[in-house]
Each structure stands twice: as structure tokens, then as C-alpha cells.
Structure 1
């Protein structure tokens, strides 16, 4: 595949993806910590997406793949959410993504066929209570990705993966008890929540040549939640 940049690869989906990609690619991981990357073949770049400007002098002359992993889960009733919660969610999920894309787009443009993958949530397609802040932010990501895909076709492919609840450190508060896990499992037609490898698998595919005719898509990887009603 070539030169791949992952923003946020020290844990969760980003870490699972890094492990899949590190053997056959030149992998660059920019994240706040290198924890979890000790045995991953990559070049680590200290980077806080919410505050820093990425130093492209630390990257190769071109990038063939880019994945932005930072996100948030701030699930509360709308009446309990402060305005600052919406600002924080839009900043980390969307505006920081835009900032990085603007920084690296000259490197992406130098690839013969580059692929970019962002993350959304099933809650954009399926209205869910307590998701007003994160769904609004991720909805912006989906719109941005489609517009970007149209603008940069055919040289750059841009797709979005929209998971349901996935068992990662980010979601630990929602899965910290056996009863919570059982309840969340049963909400999905496939009767389990996702894991980091489930999402890394589809992300890796979208970076590869096998997906070369896929762009501008939002792919629901959600145990069937967004399209099936089996109750």
C-alpha cells in the first residue's frame, strides 16, 4: 500500500489498525502517547490533534493513506449538555480533522491513488437519544468526506466508517459491567458489540487497492443496527 499516516494509534481502533498495517507499509503514527506502540513497526510522532499543527517535515514526500481516529463519546440528555460539550465534540471530531487534512493534502496529492478514511457513528443515520452532540459532530464529518471525495476524485478516495458501539477504551464507561455488556449486545441484530479489529478490518480494506472503486461512501459497520429490526 505504501506510506500510511494514522492520527491516534496508541489504543483502540487505531492501535488494531496499526498492527494490521505495519508489516506491509511504511507506517507513521501521530498521537499524544506512544503507549501501546512499543512492538509496532512505525515511526511515532508526538502530536495532540486538538492543539498541535502537524510537522510535515517528519513525514515522507508523499502519503498513500490517511486515517483520522480521534473521537469522543459524550452521551447525555440534551438538557444536561452544556454548550461547551458541543464545542469540544465538534473540535476533536471535525475541526481538528479538517486542520490535519489541510496540512497533509499536498503530500496526499503526490500519490498516484491515495485513500483517506474517517470515522462517524451509527447515530448519524439512526436517531438515538443522548447523542445530540456527538451525532452533530460526526454528521459534519460525513458531509465533509463526501464533498472532499467529489472535489479530489479521481486521485484521492475518501470514505467514512460508521460503527455502532465498539469495545475500546473510549467506550469503557458504557461497557464496565456485565449487565451493561449484555444489554448492549442484545441491542444489535448480531447480538454483540463490535471490537477494535472489526473496525480495523474494514478500514484496512478501504486503504487497499481492492477498494479502488469505492469513494464518497459511509459504510455502516454496526452489527446490523442501522438497517435491521429483528425485535
Structure 2
């Protein structure tokens, strides 16, 4: 693709979940570089380039020479354990894949977006940061670092780069599979939300696309897409 209005995006975690849904939206009119452990369904699309990588390894990220307009970091984890069952390894793994991974990803590819007139970085937090939830200690700590990173980077990189984060509640993705693998579990989780439903990766991806491609005056924000959890009581 070489149209004058096409953009280029680098997505970590583009093979599954919200990252895949966002890549599906972007890839039809833009170039997408996907970084993930597996190639995923878009591997043969003419506008998609896959780079294999596992953020838990700590190895050097692949070099990408192309200019880009946006960096999106989607990898996450769901470790739900009470305090007495949490290990240091649990905490370290969650911090590595969520916070350290986001930091190294941005540090590696920030130079790729330096020439974009509407450069944007998008990260993903969790409803568990701003809402105290039992058994969410590890993920709340790791995603809390993401929210701090979002605001600090937004201050440091303005006015040339916008930095925002989306903080979903439970969303119907492979990552949440064990929480939604029966009708009873799914219904119970729906009832925990004021809107009585589970998050849709497609809806979150549409909002992410808006932040990346349409907005020009939004930065340093954490957007809760959470069915009302943590905001209203019903």
C-alpha cells in the first residue's frame, strides 16, 4: 500500500484479543507491523508484517526501519490470587509483561514515530487499578505502573506525541477464557457490571482506533471502558 492517506502502526500483541481486533480495523487502509508470539490470522494480509517475539524473554526487540504513526501495546495478564498465594514470581511476571514490556516497546520504537504529524502511543490498563477488587493485587500493581507511565510520557512527549491508555473491565478475549468458560461464570460476571454485560473486544478496538486516527487534542488520559464498574453502583 502506498496511498497518500495511509498510516503505519506498530502493535504489540496483534495476534489475539483486542490487539487482533484493532489490527483488523487498521490493516485494510494502513500498514500494520504486528509483534507477537504467534503470527495470527492476518499473517498473509498484504498490509501486515509479523515479527515473532515474547515479551517475557527480555530479549532485544526486532528492528523495524519504517516510519510509523502510532505505537500500541496490548499484551496483558490475569493473575487472580489472594495475598497468601501470590509469589514474587507472579508479581515479577505480571510486571514484566505489562509494565516493563510497555516501557521497552516504547523505548525501542519511539524513533519510528518522530516524523508523524499525529503521533500517538496507546497503552492498556485495567479497571482493577482504580477499583479495589479482591484477588487482583498483582494485576493492579502492574497496570498501575501503566497508568503512571501514560501520564509521565504524555507530559514528556507533548506536544509532538499523544499518549493515552484504555482501562477495560472483563472483556471476552482468549486471555479471559477461564473466567468465561461456562454459562454460569459468564452470567455471574455480567451481573457484576451495572450494564449487565461483558466487554466486547470489537467495541474497545473501535475506541482505540478513534484515539489513534481521529483525535488530535487528547493526551494523558485513562479511559475506563468497563460497563460502569467502579463508576456507578447499581
Q: What's 1:31 paired with?
A: 36
The answer as to whether partners of 2:55 and 2:96 remain within 8 angstroms in 1 is no
CA RMSD of aligned residues (A): 1.2
SS at match of 2:24: helix
Shift of 1:39: 5.5
Does 2:62 match 1:55? yes
Say whether 1:118 aligns with 2:123.
yes
Q: Report 1:164-183 matches (<5 A).
A: 164-183=169-188
Length-normalised TM-score, structure 2? 0.94
- Classify the secondary structure of the residue corresponding to 1:188: coil
Q: Which residue of 2 aligns with 1:18?
A: 23
Aligned equivalent of 1:130: 135
In structure 1, what is the Cα distance between the partners aligned to 2:73 and 2:197? 25
| 1:223 is aligned to 2:227 | yes
For 1:17 and 1:113, the matched residues in 2 are separated by 18
Deviations 1:25-84 (A, max 9, x none): 11111111113224544111112222232222x340x21011101110000111111111
Equivalent residues of 1:73, 1:134 under 8 A apart: yes
Aligned to 1:140: 145
Report the Cα distance in structure 2 between the residues aligned to 1:66 and 1:223, rounded to whole angstroms: 26
- List alignment gaps of at least 5 residues for structure 2: 1-5
Q: Distance in 2 between matches of 1:22 and 1:99?
A: 24
Asked if 1:45 is matched to 2:51, the reply is: yes
Residue 149 of structure 1 is matched in structure 2 by 154
Mapped pair 1:188 → 2:193: yes
Q: Secondary structure at the match of 1:171?
A: helix
SS at structure 1 position matched to 2:164? strand
- Contiguous gaps of at least 5 residues in structure 1: none
Q: Would you say the 8 A contact 1:145–1:158 is kept in 2?
A: yes
- Check if 1:213 corresponds to 2:220: no
Equivalent pair of 1:68/1:119 in contact (CA under 8 Å): yes
Contact 1:28/1:59 (<8 A) preserved: no
Partners of 1:156 and 1:95 lie apart in 2 by: 20
